[in-house]
Structure 1
Amino acid sequence: MLQRSRTGVTGTLCLQNGVDMNSFDEIIGHDRIKEHLQNAIRLDKISHAYIINGEQGSGKNMIASIFAKTLQCEKHGTSPCNECHSCIQADSGNQPDIIRVTHEKPASIGVEDVRGQLVGDIQIRPYSSKYKIYIIDDADKMTVQAQNAILKTIEEPPEYGIIMLLTENADGLLQTILSRCVKLDLGPVEDSLIQKHLIEKFSIPDYEARFAVAFAQGCIGRAESIIVSDTFVQMKDNAMHILKYVQDMTVSELIDAAKSVSGYKNDINDYLDLLAMWYRDVLLFKSTNDANLLIFKEELKTIRSQASVSSYEGLQNILNAIDKAKRRLRANVNFDLTMELMFLTMKEN
């Protein structure tokens, strides 16, 4: 039986980040990025600073981990051997010359985090490897002061120093940092590749793989996460109940429904994406009457019913309301109120 994690989608590390992903050959998609990094290793033209930019679940950590492990591998190939002492240490998270910069404040990486774990530490030569590699996840969360503190190190690094900045928003970094790093942008992986991978890895039926692919929008880590996440299953069940019965719910029941969603605050964008996917299916079926195009094929009866009683304008109003809810939540508008207004729009339309 498949063991499911206890965290939600956005709170789950991409499954590919673990030791199962041992070499560049096992990375799904991103061929241009893999070729660039392996050529740099082959030609001994390693940059001292990289920005790996991509959405959550796109594989940033996985690529950074495999690149770092390869650079430190004692066999000096273009992929890690997975057998030497350094590779074994890297797989267990104990390679002393691969350092992950951590931070206590979830919303920001402060100047003291950077100074203490990188700027000062990089002056000490590697313990056992050719390089000393620093990986900073959520690098766009670095304060301006933290970015300025790291800038001089990026400008004048020791010969053995390599810094990898992982980010979902490279534009959040100072232009002076952007101009001094090799920037690698991770685009979406082809749906067919993700679907094939999911079926092979998890032995799931086609319809479950198709749903995960549609939801993931090209991010293979996100696709994997929703398959193994108990929280996602519960969140989807909650959303499906509201989607099926919203038109018959009283205002009081809608207020209760809004409160029930508060348990998924950490994954609210995923929750809202589920709602949007459903109403796009209703809109698509209303336009084409083609069930083969649907993501929620197993709910055809309900989708057909909603399509018959909803207008094109009404469905667009609902999709606009979902987008508006996302914007309100980003602006820290009251959570329950935002959900209530959105559910009322769904009921009315």
Structure 2
Amino acid sequence: HPDVIIINKNSGRDPKDRRKTTEISIDTIRDFLQKGANLPPYEGKFKIFIIDDADLMSVEAANCLLKTLEEPPQHIVIILLTSEEKVLLPTVISRCQRFELKPVAIAEIETRLSLNEHIPAEKIKLLSRLSGGCLGWALSSAEDETYLKGRDLRLDEFSALITRNWDERLSYIQQLPSDRNSIEDIFKLWLSYCRDVLLIKYNCDEAISNLDRINDLKYWANMLTIFEIKEFINSLNESLSYLSYNANVHLLFEVLMLDMPKKEKRADYMVNSVRPGY
């Protein structure tokens, strides 16, 4: 529709430009929103500006948007889409009305992804489970392998920690990123993994999210008791809570390494993950 303008990190980019863009620039906000906001609608009563992944706006872009939010023309509606509300500037959030979208059903996400014949069936099932009901995330992750590759690396490291000694675990902490957003992502990934281990322990394999890690999950479930799994899940939840209160990241990881159950390798159940090709 001519009165609906979608703005994202790739808006206005030359399709031949293969360089990766990680943010929505101030020039994008100026060219697509500020200039467009001054023009009347073509057909309807309003012009709708949708900023996808609004959390990717640079500070300069967000401040530029703020000028329009403070005195918006009567004929425009601005919609900010984000899964990381806390990243947005507080001054931007204070001038917006918040709407929380309900998660999309897994079956619906699978149906939408299956429209792309280039996505393998295994990957469709995996992304649908990992998406948490966020269709936009599933669609973007289907095109960009960055998240899945990083996830594989983090889960390989995490899965190996159960048989590591304390010195090796504490040494592993030194390799982790220091920014709080990345740490939060790691905690949530570990939490998802441990939740799946618990589900397998209760024979609820069909409900797990990390479908491509089924053998590793069964290995953990076979090694740990329900009590041990629940205790470590509680530790992860506590760490996420403390992280939101600016607790020392290094100290949080040290506590987690000490709380994580430690087991000896069992030759009768040593299996490798079976990951579908994607």
Give the alignment of 1:91-106 within 5 angstroms. 93=12
Q: 1:125–1:240: structure 2 CA closer, same or farther, 3 Å change rule?
A: closer
User: For the residues of structure 1 that align with 2:216 and 2:105, how far apart are their CA atoms?
Assistant: 30
SS in 2 for 1:163: strand
Counterpart position of 1:249: 164
Aligned amino acid, residue 216 of structure 1: S
2:193 counterpart (275, 278, 291): 278
Supply the RMSD in Å over aligned alpha carbons: 4.3
Aligned amino acid, residue 329 of structure 1: L
1:226 counterpart (133, 136, 141): 141
Alpha-carbon distance, 1:190 to partner: 1.7
- For each residue in 1:70-106, what CA deviation from the matched residue of structure 2 results, as whole angstroms up to 9, or x when unmatched? 3269xxxxxxxxxxxxx9xxx9649xxxxxx9669xx
1:305 counterpart (219, 243, 255): 219
Counterpart position of 1:269: 184
Aligned amino acid, residue 235 of structure 1: G
- For each residue in 1:185-240, what CA deviation from the matched residue of structure 2 results, as whole angstroms up to 9, or x when unmatched? 43222211211222332633333222212221111121233334443234223322
TM-score, normalising length: structure 1: 0.52
Aligned amino acid, residue 309 of structure 1: M
TM-score, normalising length: structure 2: 0.63
SS in 1 for 2:169: helix
**Consecutive unaligned residues in structure 1, runs of 5 or more:** 1-68, 74-86, 95-100, 105-112
- The answer to which structure, 1 or 2, has the higher relative contact order (CA under 8 A, 6+ apart) is 1
Counterpart position of 2:230: 316
Does residue 1:126 correspond to 2:39, yes or no?
yes
Q: Is the 8 A contact 2:105 2:133 kept in 1?
A: yes
User: For the residues of structure 2 that align with 1:265 and 1:226, how far apart are their CA atoms?
Assistant: 22
Counterpart position of 1:344: 258
Aligned amino acid, residue 227 of structure 1: A
User: For the residues of structure 1 that align with 2:174 and 2:144, how far apart are their CA atoms?
Assistant: 22
Q: 1:222–1:308: structure 2 CA closer, same or farther, 3 Å change rule?
A: same
Aligned amino acid, residue 139 of structure 2: E
Alpha-carbon distance, 1:280 to partner: 1.2
Counterpart position of 2:2: 70
Q: Which has the higher helix share?
A: 1
Q: 1:177–1:266: structure 2 CA closer, same or farther, 3 Å change rule?
A: closer
Give the alignment of 1:19-58 within 5 angstroms. none
1:213 counterpart (128, 133, 137): 128
2:105 counterpart (187, 190, 197): 190
Q: Is the 8 A contact 1:125 1:132 kept in 2?
A: no
**Consecutive unaligned residues in structure 2, runs of 5 or more:** 14-23, 264-278
SS in 1 for 2:247: coil
Alpha-carbon distance, 1:147 to partner: 7.2
User: For the residues of structure 1 that align with 2:108 and 2:256, how far apart are their CA atoms?
Assistant: 35
Q: 1:257–1:163: structure 2 CA closer, same or farther, 3 Å change rule?
A: same
